[in-house]
Chain A
């Protein structure tokens, strides 16, 4: 089992819709959870971090964490074409940051 798994994608949503990105992790001791956005040809950019169970909102982005289910998600409300990118889930696992494979999101007008 991979340490961090993301829904395989690619995910395509219409402009204005909610995009839902999901991630599961294997280390129950994980404490820190991150979502990075990566545009094609660019480096990953941190967009959300979450450390405790529940929801964390920042503008159009909401991160959700459920440690009992070992599940973290990212919701993007009112999706825009500029949100089209690869989204990487990252988890502090076994003392280091481990990344999922990424989910490609396309928002079409």
Chain B
């Protein structure tokens, strides 16, 4: 079974702090994704990566950056957290020739 893990289930940070959200997958998947999920807005793609050191902007990249130094790990960075970044953050991965995408358990981030 594909396993996607995220570093924290719940996180509380203060406005202006730098925040790191980590995601690790154990299935040697090439593709990894970061989404945020908000009531009424659904799942929105922030960034994705097709390979190590590769990154592509999704639909809402503003205020975020990412890092993929190793194939199994994809990090989401909030350079200066703001209250409007309070959300559920979901990481996902997908194999190169596969269509199905698998999600991690999510990190609920609160920015005060």
Contact = CB atoms under 8 A, between A and B. Distances in A.
A42 interface: yes
A46 B92 CA distance: 12
| SS class, residues of chain A in contact with chain B | strand
A70 interface: no
Interface in A7-65: 32, 34, 42-46, 49, 51
Interface in B88-112: 90, 99-106
A72 to B, nearest CB: 14
Interface size class of B (residues with CB under 8 A): 10 to 19
Given A43-B90, A96-B48, A96-B58, A88 B104 contact: no
Contacts of A80: none
B90 A96 contact: no
Interface stretch (B39-47, B64-72, B75-83): B39-47
A102 B99 contact: no
Interface centre among A43, A45, A92, A101 (most CB of B within 10 A): A43
A101 B105 contact: no
A51 B45 CA distance: 22
A97 B101 contact: yes
Contacts of B90: 43-44
A42 B105 contact: yes
A82 to B, nearest CB: 19
A44 B42 contact: no
Among A34, A90, A97, the one with the most B-chain Cβ atoms within 10 Å of its Cβ is: A97
Nearest to A33: B99
Given A43-B105, A45-B103, A49-B100, 4 more contacts: A43-B106, A96-B45, A96-B58, A101-B42
Contacts of B41: 101
